[in-house]
Amino acid sequence: MKKLAFATVVFTLAFGIALAQRGFRRGNGGRGFRRGYYEEYRTPREVGQHGGETPTWTNVPGFASDVFTFVRIKRDREPGSHGGSWDTDAPDSDLNLSYRLRQVTSLAVSPDGLFLRLTDEDLTGQPFIYMVEPGSLYLDDEEIAALRKYLLNGGFLWLDDFWGDSEWSNMEQVLKRVFPDRSFVEMPLDHPLYHCVFDIKSKSQIPNVELGTASQSNGGMTWEPYHDGDVRTVHHKAIFDDRGRIMVFVTHNTDNGDGWEWEGDNHYYFENFSEKIAYPLAINVIFYTMTH
């Protein structure tokens, strides 16, 4: 699978200054997405944003296939499971992150992104895919086979925004069907992924925007208390191939998607969660993935 030339990434401005250029927006304070609401759409750009519109841009003509594209995977929900649908935080999170990648680095980025099924023939040319709310993850046999082939051929999957023991268990059972002989390993903070662009020294927790805003006055509580098990501890785990390449990266008990989606909901949330945690981690993950 073709990798992009990320080795030339250069910061255009200091991170905080660059982020401040766009200014702040206010969201509508809620999601309310129905299951399958975006199924008919192919790109997040086709869907109206619930906050301020992310700027659009163009890339060099003739090089449409030589840009990074944020690909969100469409999938069904496990009946009776906890967790939301595949389109949680869309389209704002996809478009905001794509904009920030282009703004803060020299990376050429698609302004539109993609919504794809694992069985979509266009998946082959996409080295990076993202799934949200995998606590409700369901894949049929065809999708399991497609995901296994995709990952073994050089693809990378990021699973994000799920909490507690039950949601972890559901996700893990699905991934065991993909790789019965492989298990998740906790990522050590001395791994190069955490130091390739930003120097990340802790696995910090990103709450949803409501909890993040409330954390100013509730003693700093950032975890979702209505899940089972330990939800205070953030886990970054991975599944590696035989050469030590990360195929699957998991961020558990944290919500990076909200950090991108609601980056402009208020200054406190932006400064403490979007700017300090969500964007640095995403940029490091994407940079490391595309160079390894």
Spatial CB neighbours of 142, under 8 Å, sequence gap ≥ 6: 119
Stated pTM of the model: 0.90
C-alpha distances in Å from residue 42, one per residue of 46, 81, 224, 264? 8, 26, 31, 25
Question: Nearest to residue 135, comparing CAs of 29, 37, 226?
Answer: 226
* 200 in Cβ contact with 194 (< 8 Å): yes
Q: Residue 54 gets which letter from DSSP?
A: P
Quickly count: other Cβ atoms within 10 Å of residue 148's Cβ. Answer: 16
Rounded Cα distance between 252 and 254, Å, is: 5
The tens digit of pLDDT for each residue in 176-194 reads 999 999 999 999 999 999 9
Per-residue confidence (pLDDT) for residue 36, from 0 to 100? 58
Q: Look up tokens 């069985």; give the residue.
A: 119
Longest alpha-carbon distance in the chain:
53
Checking if the pLDDT of 2 tops 70, the result is: no
Per-residue confidence (pLDDT) for residue 72, from 0 to 100? 98
Do you find a cis peptide bond into 91, omega within 30 degrees of 0?
A: yes
Coil vs helix vs strand at 130: strand
Quickly count: other Cβ atoms within 10 Å of residue 143's Cβ. Answer: 19
Mean pLDDT for 94-117 is: 93
Rounded Cα distance between 226 and 223, Å, is: 9
Spatial CB neighbours of 176, under 8 Å, sequence gap ≥ 6: none
**Residue count (the chain):** 292
What angle do helix axes 141-152 and 164-178 make, rounded to 10 degrees? Answer: 80
Q: Where are the domains of the chain?
A: 6-23+65-291
The CATH code of domain 6-23+65-291 reads: 3.40.50.12140
Rounded Cα distance between 180 and 17, Å, is: 46
The tens digit of pLDDT for each residue in 246-290 reads 999 999 999 999 999 998 778 899 999 999 999 999 999 999 998
The tens digit of pLDDT for each residue in 19-50 reads 444 544 433 333 333 445 788 999 999 999 98
* 234 in Cβ contact with 253 (< 8 Å): yes
Rounded Cα distance between 235 and 185, Å, is: 10
Question: Regarding beta strands 76-77 and 137-138, do their DSSP bridges make them parallel or antiparallel, or are they unpaired?
Answer: antiparallel
Checking if the pLDDT of 5 tops 50, the result is: no
Question: Nearest to residue 175, comparing CAs of 225, 211, 128, 139?
Answer: 139
Checking if the pLDDT of 111 tops 70, the result is: yes
Q: Look up tokens 């709310």; give the residue.
A: 133
Tokens of 278: 């969500």
Distance of CA 56 to the CA centre of its chain: 20
Positive or negative torsion for Cα 200, 206, 212, 215: negative
Mean pLDDT for 78-104 is: 92
Rounded Cα distance between 292 and 287, Å, is: 9
Question: Nearest to residue 160, comparing CAs of 47, 100, 237, 225?
Answer: 237
